[in-house]
Amino acid sequence: MEQVFSYIISFGASVMMPILFTIIGLCIGMNFGKALKSGLFVGVGFVGLGVVTALLTTNFNGPLSSISDFYHLQLNVFDMGWPAAAAVAYNTAIGALIIPVCLGINFLMLITKTTRTVNIDLWNYWHFAFIGAVAYFVMGESLAWGYFAAIVCYIITLVCADLTAEKFQKYYDLEGISIPQPFCQSFMPFAIVLNKALDKIPGFRHLDVDAEGLKKKFGELGDPLVLGVIVGALIALFGEAGHITGFDAYVKEMQAADASATATDATMAIVKSVLSLGVIMGAVMELIPRITRLFIDGLMPISEKTKELVNKKFNGKKVYIGMSPALVIGHPTTLVVSLFLIPTILALAVFLPGNQFLPLASLAGMFYLFPIVLPYTKGNVVKTFVIGLVALVLGLYFVTDMAPDFTKAAASVYAATGDKSAHIPDGFSGGALDFASSLFGWVIYKLTCYVEYVGPAILVVVTVALMLFNRRRIVRDIKKANN
């Protein structure tokens, strides 16, 4: 089973998701052509996101490495990005059965009225497999503890998807949809607590700046495209600091490669680097919303048909369709705040005492912080930025703390499979912003692996309490609807 699932997962989301969604479409009664087209739209969306995120991370690695060298930064946790986390997740005994196990739990929770979400975001099941895989290796390759961690994470995520569904649907105008992705849902507590705290600061409540308001206030300078160009150019400029301060040495270096090179050529090379990264960052900001439209075009027919079928089977009772957060990451506030957070968190990562992680390959993961945050902040750029900053600062420490065990898991997967995405350079530990930096992931990991007996007991109590709380809400709503 492990080999079969590893082979299927090795296709990647762009191939795996069209196949899965075509099968789902046929199972729920769609005709083959429509089901295939929906699946292909989702696959093309993943291809587009892959191209854009690779554009971001590939082009940023050079300038950020130059900044690291110029300022003699010593950060020992190597950013593996989400491909490594997904490889660790799916290339283990936990990942081999995570999809059928979680679908079974989802069904049980539906019939016991402890959730309303039908989670068809199958690709992102790797998040549950990831935390289970890390626990599996830490606890001496124990399947029981690995599945325990994964299942606890899954149940808590489904309940949180229910709790946030109405706000999410109202804000994004996506009726019947919820987001059962643990990375996104783990920022919900930050959104609730910090949003209320910020409202208590005199004058802060009235500081209502959304992405459209930013554009009105600053004209075209407030547009995500233009802001992307500016921020990208500034990062590139810092990346060229070594060449600018040691300009004569840079000219000689160029002359060593090409004897005809001059100071003018060196200046032009610096200007080209700055402008190129600016335009690339602007392109990322502009392309992401267009790509998310593909997800909507692909997922909505599946969602509508699933909703129709589920409503029929559940006698018209309210049921949510769990979808990928990729549906909404193109929101203007998400783009603007991510744009401001990237340079901010890079600077803070350098100076935060005890932090050993510098996000590079994981930069694209920042867009996924905000799908559940925005409904609480109502798109307020300032509030969203503060919440994202606090969550990310803590996330850096979560990644640093988990790095030794992440490294152990990645090394085991690399030794067994030879998967290059799980290979960690010598002298480094491994980490990733994606899910390893989340509150849910870190708390479940710590309580399962390092607080003997008491930690798992706490997780069981919290999980059962959340299920019962959610059941009470669902039963109450059903009674209201029947009356």
What is the per-residue DSSP string for 420-455? GGG---TT-EEE-STTTTSHHHHHHHHHHHHSTTHH
Which amino acid, 333? Answer: T
Reported confidence tier of residue 58, pLDDT bands at 50, 70, 90: confident
Other Cβ atoms closer than 10 A to 258:
9
DSSP string, 50-94: HHHHHHHHHHHHHHHHHHHHHTT----EEE-HHHHHHHHHHSSHH
Residue 397 near residue 389 (C-beta atoms within 8 A): no
Q: What domain count does the chain have?
A: 1
Residue 79: closest CA among 435, 424, 404: 424
Residue whose pair of structure tokens reads 């068809």 in the numeric block: 120
Encoded amino acid at 227, one letter: L
**Residue 301 domain flag:** no
Reported as a single tens digit per residue, the pLDDT across 149-190 is 999 999 999 999 999 999 999 999 988 899 999 999 999 999
pLDDT of residue 217: 62
Stretch 253-275: mean pLDDT: 88
- DSSP string spanning 348-388? HHHHSTT--B--STTGGGGGGGSTTTHHHHTT-HHHHHHHH
Question: Does some domain include residue 308?
Answer: no
Please indicate whether residue 11 or residue 244 has the higher confidence score (pLDDT).
244
Q: CB–CB of 406/430 below 8 Å?
A: yes
DSSP, residue by residue, 164-197:
HHHHHHHHHT-TTEE---HHHHTTHHHHHHHHHH
Look at residue 424 and tell me if it is in a domain.
yes
d(C-alpha 148, C-alpha 142), whole Å: 10
What are 449's two structure tokens?
């692996």
Average pLDDT over residues 71-97: 79
Least confidently predicted of 65-79, 91-105, 428-442, 454-468 = 65-79
Residue 105 lies in a domain: yes
Place 216 in a pLDDT band, splitting at 50, 70 and 90. low
The confidence band for 60, taking pLDDT boundaries of 50, 70 and 90, is confident
Counting residues of the chain whose pLDDT is more than 70, the rounded percentage is 91
- Which domain does 4 fall in, by range? 1-23+31-294+318-482
Q: Quick one: average pLDDT of 427-441? A: 87
**What is the rounded CA–CA span in Å between residue 78 and residue 371?**
27
- Looking at per-residue confidence, does 99 or 441 come out higher? 441
Domain contains 300: no
- Lowest pLDDT segment from 247-251, 273-277, 357-361: 357-361
Residue 377 binned pLDDT confidence (cut-offs 50, 70, 90): very high
| Whole-number pLDDT of residue 1 | 62
Whether 311 is covered by a domain: the verdict is: no
Question: Is residue 315's pLDDT more than 70?
Answer: no
Residue 44 lies in a domain: yes
Q: Give the model's confidence band at 8: pLDDT under 50 very low, under 70 low, under 90 confident, else very high.
A: low
Give every CB contact of residue 54 below 8 A, 6+ residues apart in sequence: none
* Predicted pLDDT at 127: 92
For helices 224-239 and 263-313, angle between their N-to-C axes, nearest 10 degrees: 130
Mean pLDDT, the chain, rounded, equals: 85
In a domain, 373, yes or no: yes
**Among the ranges 22-31, 372-381, 409-418, which has the highest mean pLDDT value?**
372-381
